[in-house]
A and B are shown apart, each in its own frame.
Chain A
């Protein structure tokens, strides 16, 4: 082939080969492509594509957007409502005999949390679970929203008109008018009642209490000539003997008593003494669980125990002995000698409502010289004024048809009075029946008119819980529904047209003897602080009120005589009556009725927070059951596993209770059966219906005129084959002798060595000289640096009574969902903080099976347990998406948004404090009847807006109330200072009536926790380690080296040294 020599030029440029051409010869296009980078080039093809792509993407994204819900801002913002900033109002809680001065936290006008009012000398800033939970009752959808006449909605005006005309005609004909109420402690309300009685001369006011203290009043009438319940001061008692009085749980004034009692139980460097507490009781109560010496007795033995105790003391006090039945209980002698050894500094109390027993108790206290020291008759407690005899005669009157009109003032005797059924029948004979109940309860369902009262958070009012101590109720929100304060109703029916608020002010103007500006100052101060307490003669130094000038002007409003004479009780007659009516030694089972810490008399039955609160002792929720002793269970052949056991059939006199759930209770007196009141509400609402249970009120008997909360004869128990599972949050009873969990000792040992009972694990390593080192000195991790704050929590196991106020406070503060009975049975309760309750076991430490069985009458230890905020947190390392991390302030933080729900963190948590959202608990029909706070618009008003409501599938846990920490820090920052203890506290610690929890900044040497734990900073390899020098302090599971920020202090019992039980 011939070579082709021809050359084709691409153009004239190639021929000329000029440099400009050569430069671009290798490129396809000459010059740069117009990419639109330079200004003024206009849009290019690429720009067009970009714009179009963006346009399409944006349009389609916009199309996917969820509908926008616009928040509408205030047009005129209320002066005192700032979005995001809470307001606090002092107020007063009084229900079922429980009194607490409270501070109500409101957000955007909604009450969301109840805190204790530290200014009160009575409740001293403490609350109970019921007080805490009462805020949810405000948003109870089943409260009546309008007044009702015979089941139909009616207007207030026409109701008032009808009632006034009917009352008028009844009074004109001389028909008897009765007003029935529980104890009223409001002086102004009492004045209104008096006015009402003046208007209708045939009217009488009958007071009864759901938890009666009539026996005490009656006994004091006989012994001292004053029909009152005295004040008790447990803080001054070195020896406390309680005969069935659960003074830490339900007896008279539990918050006050817990505050006082816990003072005597604290131990530290300067205080190496504590009170000794004896308890004689049938059911294991909260007080019994805290007692140093507890004796389980049958209700029928009460008489013998008290008479023997009386005799033992009388023989040393030069008084005549009484005839007493035999009592073989070993601790009676010991209690008597301890009591005698601390005369004047002892206290004997009894929960019995039998005046005869209370007379003997008075006699004992008198011999011991306790009046004037631990008992003060001159400052009577006014929260219990119920007269069982008067109530009984009212029911008789009503049954006879002589009562023509009755007003049930916020009370529900058809349910909670033992003769409720009789009353229900009798009501048919009463022509005019009115109830002021907030809901159509068992009594209100039978009346003609329901004039629903406001919730206390919507009301004005005053209270005198103790002679000379006053507190005020102020509304924290306008009435949610068309309800009316009961005082206004009474005023209208007494034909008064004025407003109750004005009446209240007028009343206090008169009482204080002031007017004008002076009164306004006094009033504002009183309402703002919530309490107003008179200088008392017995405790002059403790007065905290600053209104001394006004004190003089206000005399106690109560008409009750407080002139106390010397003890003049008829001991012999009382003893004879006891000998007659207490016959111990029978072979029948005996029924001991009690009130639960959570549910009390059942008024709060529709409150799911209380229903789901585990009972401090049984750890049961939602259920009503009978408790039987382990021995009796063995005899009856009942076994319990995971809360499941056979049901029983109970026959009491003529009443048969089919299918009663059973719970085997260590510490239950042999031959007795415990049953809680407050259940079986048929008309309290859907939550109460969900809980169900047995209404045990009809089993309350009478003894010497007082209501008697036991049945000692004719009780028959039949075991059924049907099984029932009680929903318990804890099913394992003992701590298996694990010293790394519970560390305890006795007082005598502690005095010798403050480290008594401590278990200090050592890790073996070749590095140390003796091959043993402290677990905290070894670590794989580099540790964290806490340059600013280092939050910590100290928990004194000696102070904690187990009352569970903290559990509910935490629930409220942190929007913790309620899951209901079924899910508790599935072991999925969501409590961020729980109180572990452990019984002692008699088995040796190496008998791993024997250790599972609690002792017949065990020692009890309560251990509040929440996220320990470990510095080497095992949960943090295992989360694949880093949803749980460590903060620079020592907090273990949970980021819900990031959580994908592998639950690895919960598995790896040695304390098992993490809670998983198994379902969607909010806006879910499944939880409509249990988690009411998250399933309706009304219920949701109670939620804390500072805390996220968690979605399904994420993990949650205690945050050390990080929202409160942030708020405290911000407040301090605004004021240009460091936060102090006063700025930051967790919900649990602030609720605790025993001051068992101390929260604070461990980096601040001035903080209470730093001082309490005596913290020393130790320079570690990577940062500063907090070394706790308090000898009683320990970390739970110290040996695994997770370095928690929660510290526990050993439990010390004031017992003689005994063979150590595991």
Chain B
């Protein structure tokens, strides 16, 4: 059994027993869909169908329905792609890296974070597909498949091809990692199931989990191996995504700082997205005892760190542009900050560099409302970061004759909305039918029942009070 220092703040509050954990988390799965869930689902499906119309028009008419032009060949499409991929970083980071670092506080959030990762990667993957002029061919021509077209093969020099491998590997490993983690919980639900369908479905999903010590041992080993596999992937995916830009010749793209800067940005935005979702889930599913202020605070600290890294990266870019003495590079950054898209640069700077610094104040980083607001602000900022990198670099590059503006159309917006619809539909389905918190793991950190008494005396989740008493 886990030995926990009595001085440590309990990671799960409310004096939950092991049975409480099961009951609290299975409640959502077993119960009837709540009204708020139905409402959310209706909303998501509505957004999804509006978006689906935009996707249909895009496929039917051509990429021309977007606002792209001869100068700006990528804009919202790749912005959204990188944004979603970035968001998809938090889940694996939380479950893999924090697992390796034995950070136990991750246990109550890793399931949802991983699910979010998978859904975000699905949304991200929509864009490289949809942005292609000929999706119907591109989706398999971009893979190194043996073919009868002669000696046609993919171009291994192309960063887009690296993306294909990076994203698909990341997606596969994340999916397996997530699913392995779900198996014991599926088994729990299967064992509690009262109707035949649930029993059959969850029975199938749980892969015949028997709860034997040997099984648990294997489970732990697999989790560790997968964590080891996933950890380099967290770093590699966004590194490779950043190569799309870094290996090009366009000023503003052609910079070696991109890999670390992108990874930091990805973790930054990923944590922000996890917070946004967790705060809502926590409230709706009444999981305040599992996802505590302590979790929120720790995540906010990660946001301060990564936000500051990103800020340093922005300033380094400006410095290097000046220091390099390359006029094209200098103009690219002058144009970013003071050109026609200055407002997007300003939005990026405000949201990504200034706003996370507010978390230095304990009051702000432990406030649910401000955390929620800032987590959204951070994601807006991170969207602008990608927009700034992609559009402001392209729209004024080498030859002034080709300089142009990019204006989005309703279909740019529509396809973005489509991925939102998709994401929330998937997330709501997950929240309803899958255990949103890893029951098996959380049970390992639930304190002895005797603490129930203490908590009753001292109130919920108050670390200071608990410490004073002890």
Digitize B136-160: 1 where CB-to-A-CB distance is under 8 Å, 0 elsewhere.
Answer: 0110011000000000111101111
With A874-B248, A879-B158 as contacts: A912 and B133 at CB distance below 8 Å: no
Per-position contact with A for B211-251: 1 when CB-CB < 8 Å, else 0?
A: 00000000000000000000000000000000010011110
Instruction: Assess whether A400 is interfacial by the CB under 8 Å rule.
Output: no
The B interface is mostly helix, strand or loop, or mixed, namely loop
Quick check: A738 and B401 within 8 Å, CB to CB? no
Residue pair B397, A900 in contact (C-beta under 8 Å): no
Chain B residues with CB under 8 A of A732: 396, 400-401, 403
A738 touching B400 by the CB < 8 A rule?
Answer: yes
> B161 contacts the other chain (Cβ, under 8 Å)?
yes
Q: Assess the B67–A826 pair: CB atoms within 8 A.
A: yes
B404 contacts chain A at the CB level, 8 A cutoff = yes
Contact of A865 with B by CB under 8 A: yes
Q: Which residues of A contact B338 (CB under 8 A)?
A: 849
* B16 at the binding interface (Cβ < 8 Å): no
Q: Is the CB of A848 within 8 A of B134?
A: no
Are A953 and B62 in touch, CB under 8 angstroms? yes
In Å, the complex CA distance between A827 and B155 comes to: 30
B331 within 8 A of A: yes
Chain A residue nearest to B159 in the complex (CB)? A878
User: In the complex, are the beta carbons of A898 and B401 less than 8 A apart?
Assistant: no
Residue among A828, A838, A881 making CB contact with B70, cutoff 8 Å: A828
Question: Given that A741-B398, A902-B131 are contacting pairs, would A881 and B64 also be in contact in the complex, using a CB cutoff of 8 Å?
Answer: no
Contacts of A736 in B (CB 8 A): 331, 400
Question: Taking the complex as formed, is B120 at the interface, i.e. its CB lies under 8 A from any CB of chain A?
Answer: no
Say which one of A125-133, A513-521, A536-544, A915-923 lies at the interface with B: A915-923
Q: Tell me if A919 and B61 are in contact (CB < 8 A).
A: yes
Question: A202 an interface residue at 8 Å Cβ cutoff?
Answer: no
Q: Is the CB of A880 within 8 A of B161?
A: yes
Question: Complex formed: what's the CA distance from A863 to B399 in Å?
Answer: 11
CB distance from B255 to the nearest CB of A (A): 14
Residue from A827, A879, A911 in contact with B398 in the complex, judged by beta carbons closer than 8 Å: A911
B398 / chain A contacts, CB cutoff of 8 Å:
738, 740-741, 910-912, 1037, 1040
Query: Per-residue 0/1 for B321-340: is the Cβ within 8 Å of any A Cβ (1 yes, 0 no)?
Result: 00000011001001000100
- CA of A734 to CA of B396, assembled, Å: 13
Interface positions, chain A 134-150, Cβ under 8 Å from B, are none
The chain B residue with its CB closest to the CB of A827 is: B69
Least CB distance, A529 to chain B, in whole angstroms: 40
- Across the interface, do B250 and A735 meet the contact criterion of CB distance under 8 Å? no
> Which residues 882-901 of A have a CB within 8 angstroms of B?
882, 898-901
- Decide: A900 and B248 in contact? CB cutoff 8 A: no
CA–CA, A848 and B158, complex, Å: 34
**Residues on B with beta carbons closer than 8 Å to the beta carbon of A735:** 400-401
CB distance from B285 to the nearest CB of A (A): 41
| Contact yes or no, B400 A734, CB < 8 A | yes
Q: Is B260 an interface position by the 8 A CB rule?
A: no
Cβ contacts under 8 Å, A904 to chain B: 73-74, 158, 160, 244
Which residues of chain B have C-beta atoms less than 8 A from A900's C-beta?
Answer: 132-135, 137-138, 141-142
Q: How far is the CA of A918 from the CA of B61 in the complex (A)?
A: 9
A907 to B74, CA, bound (A): 7
User: Are A880 and B133 in contact (CB-based, < 8 A)?
Assistant: no
Q: Which residue from A903, A908, A911 sits with its C-beta under 8 Å from B248?
A: A908
Compute how far the CA of A717 lies from the CA of B152 in the bound complex, rounded to whole angstroms: 63
* A865 touches which of B64, B250, B401 (Cβ 8 Å): B401
Bound complex: CA A732 to CA B134 (Å): 32
A489 at the interface (CB under 8 A from B): no
Closest to A906 in B: B73
A920 near B62 (CB under 8 angstroms)? yes
**Which of A834, A836, A877, A1037 interacts with B157 by CB under 8 Å?**
A877
Would you call B355 an interface residue if the criterion is a C-beta within 8 Å of the partner chain's C-beta atoms? no
Expressed in whole angstroms, the minimum distance between the Cβ of B408 and any Cβ of chain A is: 12
Q: Is the CB of B64 within 8 A of A828?
A: yes
Given the complex, which residues of A lie within 8 Å of B69, measured CB to CB? Answer: 826-828
A462 on the interface (CB 8 Å rule)? no
Q: Is A272 an interface residue (CB 8 A)?
A: no
**Is B164 interfacial (CB-CB < 8 Å)?**
yes
Bound state CA distance, A900 and B142, in angstroms?
A: 8
By the criterion CB–CB under 8 Å, are B400 and A881 in contact? Answer: no
Name A898's contact: one of B128, B152, B160 (CB within 8 Å). B152
**C-alpha spacing A603/B57, complex, angstroms:** 39
From 55 to 99 in chain B, residues with beta carbon under 8 angstroms from any chain A beta carbon are 61-64, 67-71, 73-74
A49 CA to B231 CA in the complex, in Å?
49
Report which residue of A642, A838, A907 has the largest number of chain B beta carbons within 10 angstroms of its beta carbon.
A907
B401 CB to closest chain A CB, in angstroms?
Answer: 4
| Residues 310-366 of B contacting A (Cβ, < 8 Å) | 327-328, 331, 334, 338
Within the complex, what minimum Cβ distance (angstroms) separates A690 from chain B?
A: 18
Would you call B402 an interface residue if the criterion is a C-beta within 8 Å of the partner chain's C-beta atoms? yes
- A942-961 contact mask (Cβ, 8 Å, vs B): 1 or 0: 00000000011111000000
Say yes or no: A882 contacts B155, CB within 8 Å: yes
Determine if B182 is an interface residue (Cβ-Cβ < 8 Å).
no
Q: Mark A1023-1050, 1 if CB is under 8 A from B, else 0.
A: 0000000000000110010100000000
Q: Are A954 and B70 in contact (CB under 8 A)?
A: no
Chain A minimum-CB-distance residue to B327: A738
Decide if B73 touches A903 in the complex (CB within 8 Å).
yes
> Are B402 and A878 in touch, CB under 8 angstroms?
no
Once A738-B327, A881-B142 are accepted as A-B contacts, the answer to whether A901 and B134 lie under 8 Å apart by CB is yes
Within 8 A of B (CB), among A690-746: 730-732, 734-736, 738, 740-741
* Chain A residues, CB < 8 A from B400: 732, 734-736, 738, 741, 838
CB neighbours (8 Å) of B142 from chain A are 880-881, 900
Known pairs A912-B402, A920-B62; A880 contacts B73 (CB<8 A): no
Query: A881-B142, A903-B74 known; A918 and B158 CB under 8 Å?
Result: no
- Chain B nearest CB from A224 CB (Å) reads 46
Q: Are A954 and B134 in contact (CB under 8 A)?
A: yes
Are B397's CB and A910's CB within 8 A?
Answer: yes
The residue that B401 contacts in the complex, of A836, A877, A902, with Cβ under 8 A, is: A836
**Interface pair A848/B334, CB less than 8 Å apart:** yes
Task: Report whether A880 and B155 are in contact in the complex, using a CB–CB cutoff of 8 Å.
Answer: yes
Partner of B63, one of A837, A878, A918, A951: A918
Give the residue among B131, B152, B398 with the most A Cβ atoms within 10 A. Answer: B398
B138/A902 in contact, CB under 8 A: yes
Task: Identify which of B133, B327, B328 contacts A916 (C-beta below 8 A).
Answer: B133
Does A615 make an interface contact (CB < 8 A)? no
In Å, the complex CA distance between A877 and B164 comes to: 16
Known: A826-B69, A836-B399. A882 touches B133 (CB 8 A): no
Whether the Cβ atoms of A730 and B70 lie closer than 8 Å is no
Contact A837 B401 (CB under 8 A): yes
Is B394 in the interface zone, CB < 8 Å from A?
A: yes
Instruction: Name the residue of chain A whose CB is nearest to the CB of B162.
Output: A880
Q: How far is the CB of A1046 from chain B (nearest CB, A)?
A: 13
B249 touches A912 (CB 8 A): no
Which residues of the partner chain A approach B155 to less than 8 Å between Cβ atoms?
Answer: 877, 879-882
CB contact between A953 and one of B132, B399, B404 (< 8 Å): that residue: B132
B133 touches which of A740, A826, A837, A917 (Cβ 8 Å): A917
Q: Is B405's beta carbon under 8 Å from chain A?
A: yes
List residues of B (34-70) whose CB comes within 8 Å of A's CBs.
Answer: 61-64, 67-70
User: Contacts of B135 on A, CB cut-off 8 Å?
Assistant: 900
The 12 listed contacts between A and B (C-beta, < 8 Å) are: A732-B400, A826-B69, A836-B401, A837-B401, A878-B247, A879-B158, A881-B138, A902-B133, A906-B70, A907-B248, A919-B62, A951-B134
Point out residues on A near B: beta carbons under 8 Å. Answer: 642, 730-732, 734-736, 738, 740-741, 823, 826-829, 834, 836-838, 848-849, 863, 865, 874, 877-882, 898-904, 906-908, 910-912, 914-920, 951-955, 1036-1037, 1040, 1042
Given A879-B158, A902-B160, A903-B68, 16 other A-B residues pairs in contact with their CB atoms under 8 A: A730-B401, A735-B401, A740-B398, A828-B64, A874-B249, A877-B155, A882-B155, A900-B141, A904-B73, A907-B394, A910-B397, A912-B397, A918-B64, A951-B134, A952-B62, A1040-B249
Q: Which are the 3 A-B pairs with shortest beta-carbon distances?
A: A901-B133, A953-B133, A918-B64
